[in-house]
């Protein structure tokens, strides 16, 4: 795994984790019925926290905040953070801010990776 591909793989892993949470923990009716009674298993609190994070637009606000950070600092770290948060927000029902954060994060990430590659020292083996 190269240094250039690491942020993209992390964003893909966050997206896969968000899909797992959505389709294995939030949407199945049998899991929802176990947590409805209030005296469900220990993981019902985690499920409720995840549901509250997107129903109260917390995940959307976090996506917008990471989007602003990525635009302000224009670094690989903040681009990857906005991209990851945006993909999770899109999967977990916060479409508009998630899409904005995902696009801005991807653009900042590409630009930041391109600028670091442009100013890096050339490989001496290429000239031979």
Q: Over the stretch 4-61, which tens digit does the pLDDT of each residue have?
A: 899 999 999 999 999 999 999 999 999 888 888 777 888 898 999 999 988 889 999 9
Q: Which residue from 18, 16, 96, 109 is spatially nearest to 64, judged by alpha carbons?
A: 96
What pLDDT score was predicted for residue 40?
Answer: 83
Q: Computed from CA positions of residues 20, 21, 25, 29, in that sequence, does the dihedral angle turn out positive or negative?
A: negative
Q: How far is CA 87 from CA 34, 40, 80, 96, 111, in A?
A: 28, 30, 11, 11, 19
- Predicted TM-score (pTM) of the model is 0.84
The Cβ-side half-sphere exposure at 31, using a 13 Å CA radius, reads 15
What residue segments make up the domains of the chain, in order of their start?
Answer: 6-115
Alpha carbons 121 and 118: distance in angstroms, whole number: 8
Alpha carbons 68 and 42: distance in angstroms, whole number: 36
Kindly tell me if the per-residue pLDDT of 116 is higher than 70: no
């Amino acid at each position: 795994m190269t240094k250039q591909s690491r942020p993209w793989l992390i964003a893909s892993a966050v997206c896969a984790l968000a899909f797992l949470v959505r389709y294995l923990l939030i949407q199945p009716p049998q899991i929802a019925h176990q947590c409805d009674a209030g005296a469900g298993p220990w993981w019902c609190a985690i499920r409720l926290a995840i549901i509250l994070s997107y129903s109260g637009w917390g995940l959307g606000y976090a996506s917008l905040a990471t989007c602003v950070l990525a635009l302000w600092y224009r670094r690989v770290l903040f681009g990857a953070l906005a991209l990851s948060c945006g993909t999770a927000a899109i999967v977990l029902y916060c479409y508009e801010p998630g899409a904005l954060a995902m696009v801005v994060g991807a653009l900042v990430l590409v630009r930041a990776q391109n600028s670091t590659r442009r100013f890096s020292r050339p490989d001496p083996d290429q000239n031979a």
